[in-house]
Amino acid sequence: MYLKKHESKLLLIPKNEDKEDAGIIAVLTDRVPSVLIVRWFDLFCFGFAMCSYVLDFFSDIGIAIFHFWAGRHLSGALVLTFALIPSVIINIISMVWMLDDEMHWKRRAHPRRTGTFELNQKRFISLGKMITLCIFQMGPLFWYYKALYYGWMFTKNKKDDTDKEKRKFFMKMVEAERDATLLRFFEAFLESAPQLIIQGSIAANYFQNYYITGKYPYWLYFQAASLTLSIISISWSVVVQNRSLRMTRDDKVNIWPHEAVLQFCWRFLTILARIITLVAFVLMFGIYVVFLIFGHLIVTLVHVIFLQALHIEACTHIEKLLLLINAMIHLFTPFNMAEGNTRYRYLVAYTVEFLEMMIIFLLLPTPLDAFPLIEKIRIGVPATFFIGIFIMLIYYKFFHPNRRQDLEAPNVERNEKLVVSELNGIPSAAIEKAEHMAEIEEHSVPTTSESLLEEDECHN
């Protein structure tokens, strides 16, 4: 368990790339489940992700404008900087992926990502529209729109899962969602998470100043809404990242809607408590909080190396990079990046968060004693944290998708045989008839011991 290397769950790195054939099926057939299901909840997830991304980004821009308008230039500059720089990075990555598709399409070679093209190899979107989307920082919306489009086309197709065109719709949807969720995941922790600390500290300072008067400026309510949207963005990005990985793998069972809701509630409450804790550290230590964050990263890196060490063939630098990224994500919420049991990983990570929360709110005599409603905060933050942990325990005990995996495995194996037979040109009806005849034969032919007993009865 300790220092044991595991396969990465965050990035799916293909093996034996030299054996890949041209065409989308060669790359994706061995990754998608044999039972293809797209629910209305899946389409809702795409739409919700698009809306939350737009609202989160423009709410941050709006808050920065409010601060500049009121003459608080430092606050406005901090909010605007941490909104634009991560967004520019994410849109550059999105643009690179789009141009990569364009380059491969022109060479008529197999693209790693075929997201910008239709099934007939025509462009899904023009190059000019790609550039326009990325300039206006809306590049990730393209991948969600593409996933939503092909998911809708899949649901409209009434043929069975062995139909090649229907499978291509599913593969296209999965491929776009994979890119979209990965972009959104990194956007959440590059932009939304730092924004929570910055905006939370600004809002806490002004709340303390205006608490005596009882009259709060209107922009403080907008800032509270922006903070809520950022927490929703982070929580949802973790949920859809997990859901996307499960959808694209045949050895995993997809997440049902109520399971996703439970996971979102667990993440939302624990991240809320964590952000309030980090803001309290900023209010108490100011700029020196950087040293505390550095110490937290060292502790996190140690237990991540011991419990989530990764094994990627011929990619040692990627292993180190992913471990570092995972440690930085743990600053805001625990994240399981490696295959294997999550029990001890979350136990250690949440224990570290709990100890830091207890230190800042209960053990240290701090300037927070003068903060308004501090007694309620000292009770409310741990209570919020433990409610989130309780929901997590309920999720893993009763609603984790793996609890359904053993029940669904026989049907998955049978459907996989039918799909493979259809792709090889063998009608599924012939396979079903053969299975039926074999079942009849199994029940009708007596075993050797049974036949001997029957013979003895006849002779007697």
Per-residue pLDDT of the chain (460 residues; tens, 9 = 90+): 555 555 555 554 444 433 333 333 334 434 555 667 788 888 888 888 888 888 888 988 998 998 899 888 988 898 899 889 989 999 998 888 888 776 765 655 444 444 444 444 556 777 788 888 888 888 888 888 888 998 898 888 877 666 777 888 888 888 888 888 888 888 888 888 888 898 898 888 888 888 877 788 888 888 888 899 889 989 998 998 888 877 766 667 778 888 999 999 999 999 999 999 999 888 888 888 889 889 999 998 888 888 876 655 555 666 777 788 888 888 999 988 777 778 888 999 999 999 999 888 877 666 777 788 888 888 999 999 999 999 999 999 888 887 776 555 445 444 544 444 444 455 545 545 555 555 555 455 444 444 433 444 444 4
Tokens 């199994």: give the residue. Answer: 442
- 174, amino acid identity: V
- Three-state SS string across 394-450, please? HHHHHHCCHHHHHHHHHHHHHHHHHHHHHHCCCCHHHHHHHHHHHHHHHHHCCCHHH
- Is the pTM above the cut of 0.75? yes
**Is 175 in contact with 28 (CB distance < 8 Å)?**
yes
Q: What is the DSSP string of 7-20?
A: -BSS----S-GGGP
Distance (Å, rounded) from C-alpha 188 to C-alpha 233? 6
User: What's the confidence (pLDDT) of residue 250?
Assistant: 66
In 3D, which of 195, 274, 265, 197 has the Cα closest to residue 235? 265
From residue 393, give the alpha-carbon distance in Å to each of 59, 237, 242, 252, 262. Answer: 33, 20, 17, 20, 10
